[in-house]
Amino acid sequence: MHLRLNRKSPLPIHIQLKAQLAHLIQVGEWSPGRRLPTVRQLAGSLRINRNTASRVFADLAREGHLSCERGRGTFVSPRRAGGRRERTRELLLLLDEAMGRARRLGFSPAGFAAALYARAHVSAGAARLRKARVLAVECDGPRLRRLGRELSEALPLRVDSLLVKDLDRRVRRDPRSRRKYPVVVTTFFHVREVQRRLGRTGCAVVGVPADDRLRRVLRHVPLVDRAGSEMLRRRLARGSRWYS
């Protein structure tokens, strides 16, 4: 096997190994049914932890590149070996072009790979965050529309709106609805009332200013937050306290 791991690279070892094995399968260098070395053999030849090798095999099997047969070993999956070959060639041409441009800008191949890896994780984090939902709660229609609009403009996620007086009815009608929203945002004046109406739901109730200072609070909330809703709650709450 022609596998090389760069221990000085910012890319994690398991990512390097997984990418190389997947490449060998996708371009057809490893034919369907080919038997791979055992986890112990692979880890020993590359001088890596066996858990790392096992994780790579498990990831590739989950993605359909490999099939693991108890008592026999690990093999290249027939359904993946040839079906994506043309698309893989096109992808490699695209990567070669991008890597060439990166080299002309002064980036090494390792630097390009690290930047691509980081960018992919940021994009995935943004996609997850866009699926998250925040509930805006206020006492009257105009204030509720304003709060919902400013949250929607400032945060890359879905914002639902509900009047305080309708909160009890929503919870009674659909108890599971309380779990849809990791964060409920209202103005300082209504925080305790909203907490009381929601009860023990696990969602955080965050108070924000009722005037134009809300925009300054939201400006400090990151667009992509890998820690998810808990960090979002903390940032909102921390920003809110600046103006309390």
pLDDT, position 51? 92
- Answer whether residue 240 shows pLDDT above 50: no
- Answer whether residue 41 shows pLDDT above 90: yes
Q: What is the mean pLDDT of residues 181-191?
A: 80
Q: What is the mean pLDDT of residues 51-75?
A: 90
Interatomic CA distance for residues 152 and 146, integer angstroms: 10
- Answer whether residue 75 shows pLDDT above 90: yes
Interatomic CA distance for residues 22 and 33, integer angstroms: 14
Token duo for residue 168: 């009890």
Interatomic CA distance for residues 206 and 235, integer angstroms: 10
The sign one gets for the Cα dihedral 150, 154, 155, 157 is positive
How many residues are given for the chain?
244
- Answer whether residue 235 shows pLDDT above 60: no
**Chain centroid to CA 217:** 24
What residues does each domain of the chain span? 13-125, 132-241
- Answer whether residue 215 shows pLDDT above 90: no
pLDDT tier for residue 222 given thresholds of 50, 70 and 90:
very low
CB-CB contact of 69 with 36 (8 Å) = no
pLDDT, position 216? 52
pLDDT, position 201? 58
Residue written as tokens 């009257």?
Answer: 140
Which ranges constitute the DSSP H helices of the chain?
13-26, 39-46, 50-62, 78-81, 85-104, 109-131, 141-154, 167-173, 191-198, 213-218, 229-241
Q: Which residue has the higher pLDDT, 203 or 38?
A: 38
pLDDT, position 40? 92
- pLDDT tens-digit profile of 140-168? 888 888 888 877 776 666 788 889 888 87
Q: What is the mean pLDDT of residues 44-54?
A: 92
- Answer whether residue 57 shows pLDDT above 90: yes
Token duo for residue 65: 């590149």
pTM assigned to the model: 0.43
CATH architecture designation of domain 132-241: 3-Layer(aba) Sandwich (3.40)
Residue written as tokens 């221990």?
Answer: 7
pLDDT, position 81? 44
pLDDT, position 224? 35
| Domain 13-125 belongs in CATH node 1.10.10.10 | yes
Token duo for residue 199: 């009860």
Strand pairing class (158-163; 204-208): unpaired
Q: What is the CA radius of gyration of the chain?
A: 25
- Answer whether residue 183 shows pLDDT above 90: no
- pLDDT tens-digit profile of 89-128? 777 788 888 888 888 888 877 777 767 766 665 555 555 5
